[in-house]
Chain A
Amino acid sequence: MFKHSLSLPTFLIAEDDFLDFQLLDSAIKATGHSCPIIHFETGQDLIDYLKDWTPSQHEIAAVFMDVKMPVMNGLEALEIIRREELTKDLPVVMFTSSNQPKDIESAYELGANAYLLKAMSLQEFNESVNHMVGFWGKFNQRAPIKRGEPQYS
């Protein structure tokens, strides 16, 4: 019975800015999903958690990760996630504060499944989160890695 509650698909969020985390947290909750959410302040904290994680503990619906974080940034963490056998198929959505093609391209090249722009408008942000959660949460997707695979396989 313990196992049941823990095995709910979970959203992992790595975001150093607490105000941004709160916005994402309430945007996810506003979609009506009751998935648990685990918050990490750095990429390193997330990677440390994933080291001890096994799918038997709980499913991971998706990882939401900020690009700019202290200790270990999102792109470095993404690289490690894609390298490890157990985590390489996890859906990863990157948070970017700019829509510069360079930033988005480097996220995709490292194997991100999507990117989420930290839009100025809360409405726009909530809509994007809604789409993301709807897709990655409901269907329990697995990440098909197309780009960047030869780099770290």
Chain B
Amino acid sequence: MDDYWGKLFSPEGFMPHGHCYMWQPEVLWSNVIGDGVIALAYFAIPVTLAVFTNQRPNPKLRKVLWLFAAFILACGTTHVIDIITVWQPAYRIEGVVKIFTAVVSVITAGYLWVLLPVAKNLPSPGMFNQTKKELQEANVALNQKIRELEITKRELENFAYTVSHNLRSPVRHVIAYSDLLTENLSKEAISEANYSHLEAVNTSSHHMGKLVDDLLGYMKTGRMEVNYEPLDMSKIVEQVIPILEQANDTSLEWKIGPLPTIYADERMMRQLWQNLLENAVKFSSKEENPMVSLTATENSGGWEFVLSDNGAGFNEERKEKIFQIFERLHKHSEYSGTGIGLAQVSQIVEKHYGRITAESPPNQKGSIFRIWIPAKV
């Protein structure tokens, strides 16, 4: 054995392989050229594999690709040795190269067997195309569903609108005729109990009237497209305040800072300030020195309006509900309302791609509303 390793590179005692070909040129060169081309092709394969793994990295395949590259390089080398041994009888080194190639081949073959389940799960182009087709079909079905849902949503909105609109007339009659009854009848004429029943009908009908009108307003806003135009907010607020003071028969301290001109829908903004300021008036007018302040600052590509009052505020724990329709955070006996005003405000803000938050810090009086409207759409 020592002899083998000692004479690894020695041709001693062997004949070159060319002798076996009887040095016949056609036999010799066909073998040499064949081996040469095979070797070149084998050496080219790992280069292709390297480019492939570089462009499409796949951690699961990296190890087997390395093994495959070693295996194919070793195979190529055996063909190079075959060419050398035609003239140089280096059979010992050829044996070593072949043993190395055999070991790498066996490891690669074994590893491929282990990898079979993983390889089986790799999507084939056929599977890929099938999946793509299924995805396209699912996409079409999904779009169809979205269209159907949009139609259903519109139908529901129309239905709710029509119902409210048709309710308006009978509700108005109940209000008007019970108003007339309350005016024209005296407690003595129909007994105190009956009169209080009549008043209950009257109060409820008025509440129902407000509910129907607010609901109609909410749904009208929902169906409206935003008509953007430059709006001087201070002008709108200035116009809204006297109407509110007159309607609520109250006067309070207004601290209105300089307000900007923003791009928004005039009707919607008027409605927004009317609802927000009406709320502020409603919840602060019972206080000793009612005060409402409104300021605006430029903030992250838009304008932030901060509206605060020193009124009753609300329970912070339930602030998530404040912008939901029909949600009320106060007792009817304390503050009247339909629970629609702030839902409409939030709807208007959303239509302008803005944000609104409400807070009522426990350590101070009143509530703070922050409304952010983007400067550009």
- Show the binding face of A for B, using Cβ within 8 Å: 17, 19-20, 23, 26, 97-98, 100, 118-123, 125
CB-CB < 8 A to B199: which residues of A?
none
B341 within 8 A of A: no
Q: Which residues of A contact B209 (CB under 8 A)?
A: 120-121
Contact A120 B210, beta carbon cutoff 8 Å? yes
Q: How far is the CA of A146 from the CA of B323 in the complex (A)?
A: 45
Q: Which residues of A contact B165 (CB under 8 A)?
A: 97-98
Out of A97, A98, A100, A125, which one reaches B176, CB within 8 Å? A125
B216 contacts A122, C-beta separation under 8 Å: no
The reply to whether the CB of B180 lies closer than 8 angstroms to some CB of chain A is: yes
Given contacts A98-B216, A100-B220, contact A121 B169 (CB under 8 A): no
The answer for the CA separation of A67 and B260 in the assembled complex, in Å, is: 41
Q: A98-B216, A100-B220 are in contact. Are A120 and B175 (CB under 8 A)?
A: yes
CA A93 to CA B180, docked complex, whole Å:
24
In the complex, A150 Cα to B172 Cα: how many Å?
Answer: 37
User: Min CB distance, B149 to chain A, in Å?
Assistant: 27
Given contacts A98-B165, A120-B210, contact A19 B171 (CB under 8 A): no
Within B139-180, the residues touching A (CB, 8 Å) are 165, 168-169, 171-173, 175-177, 179-180
Give B168's nearest chain A residue, CB to CB.
A97
Interface contact B179-A122, CB-CB below 8 Å:
yes
Which of A26, A97, A100, A122 makes the CB contact (< 8 A) with B175?
A122
Is B171 a contact of A120 with CB atoms below 8 Å?
yes
Across the interface, name the chain A residue whose C-beta is closest to B208: A120
- Supposing A19-B177, A98-B165 touch, asked if A118 and B220 sit within 8 A by C-beta, the answer is no
20 pairs from A and B in contact (CB 8 Å cutoff): A19-B177, A20-B169, A20-B173, A23-B173, A23-B176, A26-B180, A97-B165, A97-B168, A98-B216, A100-B220, A118-B169, A120-B168, A120-B171, A120-B172, A120-B175, A120-B209, A120-B210, A121-B175, A122-B175, A122-B179
A122 lies within 8 A of B169 (CB)? no
Partner of B172 from the list A26, A100, A118, A123 (CB cut-off 8 Å) is: A118
Assess whether B175 is in contact with A19, with CB atoms less than 8 Å apart. Answer: no
A35 to B301, CA, bound (A): 63
Residue of B165, B175, B210 ringed by the most chain A CB atoms within 10 A? B175
A125 to B177 CA separation, bound complex (whole angstroms):
13
Query: At the interface, yes or no: B359 with Cβ under 8 Å from chain A?
Result: no
A106 to chain B, nearest CB (A): 16
- Find A122's partner among B168, B180, B213, B220 (CB 8 Å cutoff): B180
Contact B169 A97 (CB under 8 A): yes
Counting chain B CB atoms within 10 Å of each CB, the highest count among A19, A118, A120 belongs to A120
Taking CB atoms, residues of chain A closer than 8 Å to B179 are 122-123
The CA-CA distance from A109 to B255 in the complex, in Å, is 42
Q: Which residues of A contact B175 (CB under 8 A)?
A: 120-122
Chain B residues, Cβ within 8 Å of A122: 175-176, 179-180
Q: Are B176 and A17 in contact (CB under 8 A)?
A: no
Among candidates B169, B206, B216, residue contacting A17 with C-beta atoms closer than 8 Å: B169
- Shortest Cβ distance from A125 into B: residue: B176
Find chain B residues with CB under 8 A from A100 CB. 220
For the complex formed, measure the closest distance between the CB of B57 and the CB atoms of chain A, giving whole angstroms: 61
For B179, give the chain A residue with the smallest CB separation.
A122
Given A122-B179, A123-B179; 14 other pairs, CB 8 A cutoff? A17-B169, A19-B177, A23-B173, A26-B180, A97-B168, A98-B165, A100-B220, A120-B168, A120-B171, A120-B175, A120-B212, A121-B209, A122-B175, A122-B180
> Which one of B176, B177, B179, B206 has the highest number of Cβ atoms from chain A below 10 Å of its Cβ?
B176
Nearest Cβ on chain B to A116's Cβ, whole angstroms: 13
Closest chain A residue, CB of each to CB of B166: A97
